Homo-oligomer: A and B are copies of this chain.
């Protein structure tokens, strides 16, 4: 049986920290599904389609990765896709508490679905999508923090792309 792992998130936008987690997880499982939450409550900076497209461009040439959208209960989605395990990144203590709570809730809802956590490299440990959006919106450079397609998309969004 193929071992499928689901990596869910909002990815608004996809950062080098997310990329690091995907690339390192590929070696552990047979397939990684990057599952982009549609997240109806919040207004994201990038639309669902844009977010999926930016992840696709960032992962071009990477095998064994599927990019998909999901809504509803995460564990229902994982079950539907035949996923064995959910992958989550852990950066900070505040992440930890939220993730622990969600892990316990998910385990209560579907005991057969497992969850694992990965800590990013120290060079990515301070990069959150929120910080990336904030810096880019104020005109700061995020070139070192996100994949190149995301960097371009942010420059276009905030009108800071250099004229040809």
Question: A residues within 8 Å of B by Cβ?
Answer: 3, 24, 27-29, 72-73, 75-76, 84-85, 90, 92-94, 96-97, 99-105, 107-109, 114-119, 121-123, 125-126, 128, 131, 135, 138-141, 144-145
Residue among A114, A122, A138 with max Cβ neighbours from chain B (10 Å)? A122
Q: Contacts A3-B28, A73-B138, A101-B128 known; A121 to B93 CB distance under 8 Å?
A: no
Among residues of B, the one whose C-beta sits closest to the C-beta of A144 is: B108
Q: Could you tell me if A104 and B84 are in contact, using CB atoms closer than 8 angstroms?
A: no
Which residue of the partner chain, among B28, B73, B138, contacts A116 with CB atoms under 8 Å? B28
Secondary structure class of chain A's binding surface, majority of residues: mixed
Q: Could you tell me if B114 and A117 are in contact, using CB atoms closer than 8 angstroms?
A: no
Q: Could you tell me if A140 and B109 are in contact, using CB atoms closer than 8 angstroms?
A: yes
Among residues of B, the one whose C-beta sits closest to the C-beta of A72 is: B138
Q: Could you tell me if A101 and B138 are in contact, using CB atoms closer than 8 angstroms?
A: no
Residues of B within 8 A of A93 (CB): 93, 96-97
Nearest 8 A-B pairs (CB), nearest first? Answer: A104-B126, A117-B117, A116-B116, A73-B138, A101-B126, A92-B97, A73-B140, A103-B119
Q: Could you tell me if A114 and B144 are in contact, using CB atoms closer than 8 angstroms?
A: no
Q: Could you tell me if B108 and A28 are in contact, using CB atoms closer than 8 angstroms?
A: no
Which residue of the partner chain, among B109, B117, B122, B125, contacts A119 with CB atoms under 8 Å? B117
